[in-house]
Amino acid sequence: MHQGKEDLNNEDVKTSVFKDFLALIKIGIINSNIITAITGMWLALFYNGLNFLPYLDKVIFATIGVWLVIAGSCALNNYIDIDIDTKMKRTQKRPTVTGNFTPTFALTIGLSFVTIGLLFLFTTSVTAGLVGAFGSFVYVVLYSMWTKRKYTINTVVGAFSGAVPPLIGWAAIDPDLHTVAWVLFIIMFIWQIPHFLALAMKKTDDYRTAGIPMLPVVYGNEITKRQTLVWVACLLPLPIFLVDLGIVFVALATMLNIGWLVLGFVNYKKDDMKWATKMFVYSLNYLTILFVSMVIATLI
Structural domain total, the chain = 1
What is the Cβ-side half-sphere exposure of residue 63, based on CA atoms within 13 angstroms? Answer: 14
In a domain, 217, yes or no: yes
Question: For each of the chain's 300 residues, which pLDDT tens digit applies?
Answer: 344 444 435 555 556 899 999 999 999 999 999 999 999 999 999 999 999 999 999 999 999 999 999 999 999 999 999 999 999 988 889 999 999 999 999 999 999 999 999 999 999 999 999 999 999 999 999 999 999 999 999 999 999 999 999 999 999 999 999 999 999 999 999 999 999 999 999 999 999 999 999 999 999 999 999 999 999 999 999 999 999 999 999 999 999 999 999 999 999 998 999 999 999 999 999 999 999 999 999 998
In a domain, 3, yes or no: no
Residue pair 157/147 in contact by the 8 Å Cβ criterion: yes
In a domain, 181, yes or no: yes
In a domain, 4, yes or no: no
In a domain, 12, yes or no: no
Q: What is the rounded CA–CA span in Å between residue 35 and residue 90?
A: 25
In a domain, 291, yes or no: yes
12 C-beta neighbours (distance < 10 Å), count: 10
What is the secondary structure of 265-278 as a DSSP string? Answer: HHTTTS-HHHHHHH
Instruction: Give pLDDT, residue 158.
Output: 96
Q: What is the rounded CA–CA span in Å between residue 88 and residue 208?
A: 9
Considering only CA atoms, give the Rg of the chain.
20
Domain extent at residue 111: 18-297
Look up the CATH number of the domain holding residue 194: 1.10.600
Burial class (CB in 10 A: 0-12, 13-18, 19+), 174: buried
In a domain, 25, yes or no: yes
In a domain, 196, yes or no: yes
